[in-house]
Amino acid sequence: MTQTEPDPQPVPAPEPKQRKRTFLLGAVLVLAATATFAIAALLVTIFQHQQESAQTWVKVVELDETTVDPSIWGQNFPSQYQAYLRTAEFTESAHSGVLVPHDVAGDPRSEVPSSKLEEDPRLVRMWDGYPFSVDYRHARGHAFMTIDQQFTLRNIEFKQPGTCLNCHASTTALMSELGNGDVQAGFEAMGTVPLKELIEQVEHPVACIDCHDPSTMALRISRPAFKAGIAELKASEGIENYDVNRDATRQEMRSYVCAQCHVEYYFAGENKVLTFPWDKGLDVDNIFDYYMEIGHVDWTHAGTGAKVLKAQHPEFELWSQGVHAANGVSCTDCHMGYVREGASKVSNHQVTTPMADVNATCGTCHSTGDGVLEARVTTIQDRFIESRDRALDALVALIDDLTAAQTDGTPEASLELARTYQNKASFYIDIVYSENSYGFHAPDYTQRILSQALDAARKGQLALQGATAAELEPSEVTRNNLEQSLRAGGGHTGG
């Protein structure tokens, strides 16, 4: 809120010392009261939103756990269904990319979102040797999630496990079928079938049944991977046996339903079971430590031989570190703002960028007008891009040097150390690059991650010049400050 409020009090004219102090004190009190009022007002707004659920509906058809087709649900809930269909519309915004014509034999799509690899060829260097370096595009609406997965070159040209489908279709009924009624067993079996086969068995993108209980319409978590992941996260915070569908508040569920898919993940074990790396917490440091501990590697970099991790769409993780999450503002508050339908208000099921209608989304809590909020978003995103670009340039320079050093007699120990720094810089850049808000969900935190990435890239280059791991340790001041922030709950594990 701070940035969006008018400048504080005008500067008072010079006055005798005593009076000036009283004035300042008064001004401070007024400011404090205003701030308290503003925060209280926001909390009231949020609270009111939480009450807006008490909806009644006309039951035209019976719904149960086998009703996958959203058009049947649409008979009971026509407004939500109509908006849901509009996820097929492309909503352009500053960083959405554009739709480009597409004419490829065997691929039914006549248009696809523009390529991020063409926009930024540095990504091809970063992911050299991994399917992402072949095809990576902007995201678009939910209506396309299955077809875009089916025809990406990452599926056409590579062997992918059925696990991929978890986040790209309505799989609630499919999991039950695969496990003969046992959803958990069906979920675990997904990875034993190739994606190219399993994808033929689904008919709808994420549907009503994936987010709603058909008998009560309450939000629910249908994906075992999220149930397990959030339980691990809660256990790391000292909460045992967490059952998300029993224990989460309604406001939490308004983010958790999205976090079934908009999260970082990996495939565990031979059956490629979908797993979220949250055992130590949601901070990128926690996630990186977790991967180091279990020894997970996504691929070996073709140019440098480094064993590298890939990050994917960690919207939930980054949002969780920002000021909105700290104030209980959910994904739904911004991405599914209420729209008026006659006498009632419904949640906008055309899930897309909030910038398409700032008044209906941000405007429920921030009443600045005059483009102040839009300008704020632009500033945050521009600053993000500036830092991201510097960090990625540094990583590419490290990759260049490391590639050359393979054959110029650099000692193996230096190469190996430089490779570990490449992995760190790469993962830390990836976690904010593959996050789709361009820094908005947690601006200051995103900047911290990029400074860590830049630091790792610099150290990788120093390692190639002969610096040892001990010489590249942070200074004592830096270490002390890190420890202090960790004790204060900064969620930072150092490095």
Residue 417, interface with ligand HEC (CB under 6 A)? no
CB of 388 to ligand HEC, least distance (A): 14
CB of 435 to ligand HEC, least distance (A): 8
Binding mask 246-285 for ligand HEC (x = CB under 6 A): ----x---xx-xxxxxxx-x--------x-----------
Give residues with Cβ within 8 angstroms of 182, minimum separation 6. Answer: 176
Binding mask 392-411 for ligand HEC (x = CB under 6 A): --------------------
Q: CA–CA distance from 14 to each of 7, 25, 26, 257 (Å)?
A: 20, 15, 16, 57
Quote the CA–CA distance of 402 and 422 in Å, as a whole number: 9
CB of 10 to ligand HEC, least distance (A): 22
Q: Give the tokens for residue 24.
A: 């300042």
Torsion of CA 400, 401, 405, 406, to 10 degrees: -30
Chain positions 153 to 182 lying near ligand HEC, rule: CB under 6 A, are 154-155, 160, 164, 166-168
Chain positions 322 to 381 lying near ligand HEC, rule: CB under 6 A, are 323-324, 327, 329, 331-336, 346-347, 349, 351-355, 361-362, 364-366, 373, 376-377
CB of 311 to ligand HEC, least distance (A): 10
Pick the binder of ligand HEC from 25, 30, 61, 94 (CB under 6 A): 94
CA nearest 199: which of 153, 157, 164? 164
Quote the CA–CA distance of 368 and 193 in Å, as a whole number: 52
Whether 218 contacts 212, CB under 8 Å: yes
CB of 184 to ligand HEC, least distance (A): 17
Establish how many alpha carbons lie within 13 A of residue 477's alpha carbon, considering only the half-sphere containing its beta carbon: 0
Size of the site for ligand HEC (CB under 6 A): 95
Containing H/E element for 455? helix 443-464
Quote the CA–CA distance of 153 and 116 in Å, as a whole number: 14
CB of 383 to ligand HEC, least distance (A): 12
Nearer to ligand HEC, 142 or 492 (CB): 142
Residue 46, interface with ligand HEC (CB under 6 A)? yes
Nearer to ligand HEC, 169 or 394 (CB): 169
Pick the binder of ligand HEC from 63, 68, 189, 206 (CB under 6 A): 206
Stretch that binds ligand HEC, among 20-28, 145-153, 179-187, 239-247 (CB under 6 A): 145-153
Chain positions 74 to 93 lying near ligand HEC, rule: CB under 6 A, are 74, 77, 80-81, 84, 91, 93
Stretch that binds ligand HEC, among 141-149, 238-246, 419-427, 469-477 (CB under 6 A): 141-149
Containing H/E element for 112? strand 111-113
118-123 long-range contacts, Cβ below 8 Å, gap at least 24?
120/392, 122/392, 122/393, 122/395, 122/396, 123/433
CB of 270 to ligand HEC, least distance (A): 16
Residue 491 has φ and ψ, to the nearest 5°, of 70, 25
Quote the CA–CA distance of 42 and 39 in Å, as a whole number: 5
Nearer to ligand HEC, 337 or 460 (CB): 337
Nearer to ligand HEC, 245 or 436 (CB): 436
